[in-house]
Structure 1
Amino acid sequence: MNFGKIDKKDYLIPPFAFFYFYLVFAAAFHLPTVSRQELFHSRIASWAGVLLCLAGLLLLLLSLISFGRSFRVGIDQTHPDKLVTTGIFAFSRNPIYVAFASVLMGQFLLFSNWILLVYLLAAIWLFHRQVSREEQYLRGHYGQQYSEYCTRVSRYL
């Protein structure tokens, strides 16, 4: 795992992630939290949130299955493996990030707290930042093979 070896700002992620998980559990189990203010309350939005969470978890599972033994966290320059372009990666170049974004969006629709909205927006920005870093590495490492893959498969959806 190369967490923090390439970009030291990665060490800022865990405290924010733990706080996020606490906010979600606090909303779900009525624990003390920073804010209980809901931006909206809708049964339809809540069910859409549940469906997005389930879809995100399914997409994450399919991504891990498709990755197989090639799974890496971050950019692993010391142990590169073959470029994975099959399974769910035949439909999206970044299904894990799409899965995480789906779960975060679903949680926001369920608990519509302004703090979760800030987290959702920040996460989308961070995911895109990481995807850009990974794409730069993949282009350099796999060259034409990756370029051809990019023309066949969209970045996210």
Structure 2
Amino acid sequence: MIVLLICMVIFRVLSLKQQGIEAIEFGKKDPKDYFIPPFAVFYLYLILANAFDLPTIIHQNLFENQTMAWIGVLFCLMSLSLFLWALISFKKSFRVGLAENSSQGLITQGAFAVSRNPIYVSFAAMLIGQFLIFPSWILLIYIFAGILTFHRQVLKEENFLAIQYGDEFEQYCGKVNRYL
């Protein structure tokens, strides 16, 4: 499922590039963003290692429960659905990183009418779902670290949007919750 999520981002970035839109702004405004990819690659390896029985940190399942694993699958499916809805809702405004992009205005429709940050909600749901499928202590740590990292990014993005859109963004915040 995480591979599907990555493929969706790559497809979206490439389709925007064909339209002359540079969607990768990652690290341009905050070089600390470059600390994230090594942890993301390690996480991806942990998921693949668990799925395909590859060498990894000692398998230490915190619990074994088929029902919980299926609930995890549902979380992952919901996460992918929300992520796809958010990508579609973004239209041409999708960016990886912070970028001034006022040509389409503030996106408040679709998934953004339900959550100001549906992509981060979908990422958190994916982490929770994968933990329920592969319940190891390291993935539990990733849930907490990931959610803290997402929250840090959300605060940066919302501050950026408040500066870029002013009262319009403030009114939007009054109508739609930050997460759910």
Same fold (TM over 0.5): yes
| Aligned position for 1:83 | 106
Query: So what's the TM-score if we normalise by structure 2?
Result: 0.84
Amino acid at match of 1:13: I
Unaligned 5+ segments in structure 1 are none
Q: CA deviation at 1:80?
A: 3.5
Higher relative CO (CA 8 A, sep ≥ 6), structure 1 or 2?
A: 1
User: Which stretch shifts more, 67-76 or 2-11?
Assistant: 2-11
Q: What are the equivalent positions in structure 2 for 1:3-152 lying under 5 Å apart?
A: 3-77=26-100, 79-81=101-103, 82-152=105-175
Is residue 28–residue 97 contact of structure 2 (8 Å, CA) maintained in 1? no
Unaligned 5+ segments in structure 2 are 1-23
C-alpha root-mean-square deviation of aligned residues, in Å?
0.9
Identity among equivalent positions (%) equals 55
Is residue 94–residue 131 contact of structure 1 (8 Å, CA) maintained in 2? yes
Is residue 27–residue 34 contact of structure 2 (8 Å, CA) maintained in 1? yes
In structure 2, distance between residues paired with 1:143 and 1:12 = 30
Structure 1 runs of 4+ aligned residues shifted over 2 Å read none
Q: Describe the SS at the equivalent of 1:65.
A: helix
